[in-house]
Chain A
Amino acid sequence: MCTKGIHVVFFVSSCFRGPVMIMEPLLTKYVREPNCFTLDFYLKHEGYEGLKKALALTPDQVVEMVKASGLRGRGGAGFPTGMKWQFVDKRSPNPRYIACNADESEPGTFKDHLLMERNPHLLIEGCAIACHAIGARVAYVYIRGEFFHVQRVLERAIDEAYRAGFLGRNVFGSGFDCDVYIHRGAGAYEAGEETALLESLEGKRAQPRNKPPFPAVIGLYNCPTAVNNVETLANVPLILRNGAEWFAALGPEKNGGPKLFCISGHVKRPGVYEASMTMTLRELIEGCAGGVREGRTLKAVIPGGSSVPMLMPDQLDAQASFDGVQKAGSLLGSAGLIVLDDTACMVWLAENLLHFYRHESCGKCTPCREGTDWLHKILRRIERGEGHMRDLDLLSSISGSIGGKTLCAFGDAAITPVLTTLKHFRHEYEAHIREGRCTLPASWRARHAAGAR
Chain B
Amino acid sequence: MSFHPKMAYDASFHKSGRTLTEAGEPFAYTPENTARFESIVVRYPADRRRSAVLPALYLVQYQQGHVTANAMRYVADLLGITAADVEDVVSYYTMFHTKPVGTFVINVCRTLPCALNGAERVTEEICGKLGIKPGETDPSGTFTVVEVECLGACDRAPVVMVNDAWHECLSPEDASKLLDDLRARGEAALSGCHHVVESRRL
Which residues on A are within 8 Å of B, measured CB to CB?
Answer: 1-8, 32, 34, 104-110, 112-113, 144-149, 179, 181, 183-189, 200-206, 221, 262-266, 270-272, 306, 336, 338, 340, 344, 349, 352-353, 355-356, 358-360, 362-363, 366-367, 369-371, 373-374, 394, 397-398, 401, 405, 446-449, 452-453
Contact = CB atoms under 8 A, between A and B. Distances in A.
15 contacts: A5-B157, A104-B152, A109-B152, A146-B95, A184-B58, A185-B93, A187-B94, A187-B95, A203-B54, A205-B92, A262-B154, A270-B155, A338-B113, A370-B11, A447-B116
B124 interface: yes
A358 B121 CA distance: 22
Contacts of A336: 154
Given A187-B94, A370-B11, A448 B120 contact: yes
Interface stretch (B21-29, B30-38, B136-144, B158-166): B158-166
Given A186-B93, A370-B2, A397-B4, A344 B150 contact: no
A109 B169 CA distance: 16
Contact of B149 (A147, A189, A398, A452): A189
Contact of A200 (B54, B128, B152, B157): B54
B161 A146 contact: yes
B92 to A, nearest CB: 4
A356 B154 contact: no
Contacts of B17: none
A216 B52 CA distance: 23
Nearest to B51: A203
Contact of A149 (B2, B79, B166): B166
A6 B51 contact: no
Contacts of B57: 186
Given A186-B93, A374-B7, 14 more contacts: A6-B169, A110-B152, A145-B93, A146-B148, A147-B152, A185-B93, A186-B57, A186-B95, A270-B154, A270-B155, A349-B112, A362-B92, A370-B11, A447-B119
Contacts of B150: 105-109, 189, 306, 356
B153 A306 contact: no
A264 B165 CA distance: 22
Interface in B98-137: 107, 110-113, 115-121, 124, 128
B164 A149 contact: yes
A405 B46 CA distance: 38
Contacts of B52: 203
A2 B177 CA distance: 14
B53 A452 contact: no
A353 B112 contact: yes
Given A186-B58, A271-B155, A452 B93 contact: no
B171 interface: yes
Given A264-B113, A352-B115, A356-B149, A149 B154 contact: no
A54 B149 CA distance: 40
Nearest to B128: A453
B186 interface: no
B3 A366 contact: yes
A145 B95 contact: yes
Interface of B: 2-4, 6-7, 11, 13-14, 43, 45, 48, 50-55, 57-58, 79, 81, 85, 88-89, 92-96, 107, 110-113, 115-121, 124, 128, 148-157, 161, 164-166, 168-171, 174, 194, 197-198, 200-202
B96 A186 contact: yes
Contact of B121 (A186, A306, A447): A447
Most buried by B among A181, A262, A447: A447
Nearest to A104: B152
B157 A186 contact: no
A363 B14 contact: yes
Nearest to B172: A452
B92 A206 contact: yes
Nearest to A34: B202
B100 to A, nearest CB: 18
B198 A7 contact: yes
B54 A186 contact: yes
Contacts of B111: 107, 306, 352-353, 356
Contacts of A359: 149
A179 B57 CA distance: 23
Nearest to B163: A148
Nearest to A355: B110
Given A6-B200, A221-B48, A453-B124, A265 B169 contact: no
A215 B154 CA distance: 31
A406 to B, nearest CB: 10
B174 A184 contact: no
Contacts of B96: 186
Nearest to B113: A264
* Interface-centre pick from A336, A369, A452, A453 (highest chain B CB count, 10 A): A452
A144 B116 contact: no
A2 B116 contact: no
Nearest to A95: B45
Nearest to B121: A452
B51 A447 contact: no
B194 to A, nearest CB: 6
Nearest to B174: A1
Given A108-B150, A205-B88, A447-B120, A366 B54 contact: no
